[in-house]
Amino acid sequence: MSIDYHSLVGIEDGAKRLHIHLTEIPDTASHPPYQHEHKAEEAFYLLEGSAEYRFDGKKITAGPGEVVFIPSGVRHAEITYHTPSMKYLTIRTVELDDEPCCCGKDR
């Protein structure tokens, strides 16, 4: 499974409640999504590729230039990838007593 995270704004930049990272999945077939939830609000701004996101009774298909917003406390990451690769920005709040971001650069 290959996935690349590149922190763009985070604690190293002086941010206390905001974290942004670039996520690149070169091979979506080898990256099975996993269901999880957290206190943070999270948004994905898609740069390349497209996928269908299912959470909280919603089904959202998004591609380049579109945003998928996940509210705090909502179980998510049921994803069907429509393209062999994906590139997107993950924009997320940093909340006390929450799990760290997947890239590990938010605290």
The answer to whether position 102 is within a domain reads no
Q: Over the stretch 48-77, which tens digit does the pLDDT of each residue have?
A: 999 999 999 999 999 999 999 999 999 888
The answer to whether position 78 is within a domain reads yes
pTM of the model: 0.89
DSSP secondary structure string for all residues of 71-87: -TT--B-EEEESSS-EE
Backbone angles phi, psi at 36, to 5 degrees: -160, 170
Sheet-wide strand order for 67-70: 4-9, 18-25, 86-93, 42-48, 67-70
> Which structural domain range is residue 35 located in?
4-93
Pairing of strands 51-55, 58-62: antiparallel
The answer to whether position 105 is within a domain reads no
> CATH code at 56?
2.60.120.10
Spatial distance between the Cα atoms of 38 and 42, rounded to a whole number of angstroms: 9
The answer to whether position 104 is within a domain reads no
The answer to whether position 70 is within a domain reads yes
Task: Please state the domain count of the chain.
Answer: 1
The answer to whether position 103 is within a domain reads no
Q: Over the stretch 30-44, which tens digit does the pLDDT of each residue have?
A: 887 778 888 999 999
